[in-house]
Amino acid sequence: MDAHLTPAAPYLQAEAERRFPSGATVEARFDIPEPGFSVTVLFGPSGSGKTTALRLLAGLERADRGSIRVAGAVWSEAARHLHRPPQARDLGFLPQAYHLFPHLSVAANLGYGLTALSAPERAARVRELLTLLDLEGLGDRQPGELSGGQQQRVALGRALARKPRLLLLDEPLSALDRPSQLRLRKDLRELLRTLGVPTVLVTHDRAEALQLGDRLVVMDQGRVCQSGDIQQVFDRPTDPAVARILGVETVVLGRIDAIIDGMATIAVGSAQIHAADPGGLDWQVFVCIRGEDVAVERGSGPGAGSTVRNRLPARILALHPEGSLVRIALDAGFPLESLVTRQACADLHLAEGDQVCAILKAAAVHLIPHD
């Protein structure tokens, strides 16, 4: 192959494992294609290995197999017993606990790792960070005098002070109360965009992942189950375990009765539904339906309708208020969940035992082949 046709190596290429004495293994297996701004989210339930994977990148855990390369530099290669320590990896790391020095001012916290710079250079970099992080006028304050969001920005600034090649964030909003988390998600995304540093972020919060991420790496029991563009992974999980991790409420086994003109007819429990045929299906499939894609109307409806929409007679089994939303457990011939607004639930006067019609578009039904 001609040199000019050789594909460029990814900016970050991680293919490493950490093996623990207990027998557990955690893998960091993903890449960041290009330098510059992007947020790669490590996502999964507690104990899935997300933080260990992040620590492998940081050099806080030594890989027992494989390698990690960033911007052409080898950070870790187990076969050659090569392991760069964290301070030699040119990265910024923000743990769950910000670990700000309570006895130092904001400015001193920001400049703590800049000992290689002269005093004037260090002061100039601190001023730059104060402006960038919207902390102007707060340089002389102690961390205890700041809000949670301000403390988070100081900790982020300290991680970025040396202009790293890679930024690692471990649950960066978890130390904040829920209203602050909701308010600061957008701010954090815009700040990371301004900084232009490739970022790997750990979270188990679905909304946080969707709002902050560009790429998604789904982890479970120490292994990477699926990775790719964040919306694509959320919309098209490749196996039922990933679907459940991603918060798909209804994951049930079905049987394909027919496929006509790209539309599959599937028997699920005692019901029949329609879904777009993704190809490559056998007769058994997993049917995945998100609660927000299921609308509820009064009356039982006429049963399965056109290939555009599914109308399923259903009975309400339970109503579970969740803030401004209500989760509705339905018996539609198979267990089905709907997520509607509290106002819609009140307008329809819904109650347990009511007969209703569950409505969902065929395009909202995702099919996974049954191996």
**What residue ranges of the chain are covered by domains with CATH 3.40.50.300?**
3-90+164-235
**What residue ranges of the chain are covered by domains with CATH 2.40.50.100?**
249-369
Rounded CA separation 80/97 (Å): 34
Percentage with pLDDT > 70 across the chain: 95
Architecture of domain 3-90+164-235: 3-Layer(aba) Sandwich (3.40)
Least reliable range by pLDDT among 130-139, 215-224, 249-258? 130-139
- As a whole number, the mean pLDDT across the chain is 91
pLDDT in the model for residue 195: 84
Phi, psi of 299, deg, nearest 5: 90, 165
Spatial contact of 320 and 249, defined as CB atoms under 8 Å apart? no
Helix (H) or strand (E) holding 296: strand 295-298
pLDDT in the model for residue 304: 46
Read off the pLDDT band of 305 (50, 70, 90).
very low
Asked whether residue 303 carries a pLDDT value surpassing 50, the answer given is: no
Question: In the predicted model, what is the mean pLDDT of residues 255-275?
Answer: 93
Asked whether residue 352 carries a pLDDT value surpassing 50, the answer given is: yes
The conformational region for residue 250 under phi > 0 = left, psi -120 to 50 = alpha, else beta, is beta
Map 172-213 to HEC letters. CCCCCCHHHHHHHHHHHHHHHHHHCCEEEEEECCHHHHHHHC
Architecture of domain 249-369: Beta Barrel (2.40)
> What are the CB-based long-range contacts (under 8 Å, 24+) for 77-82?
78/16
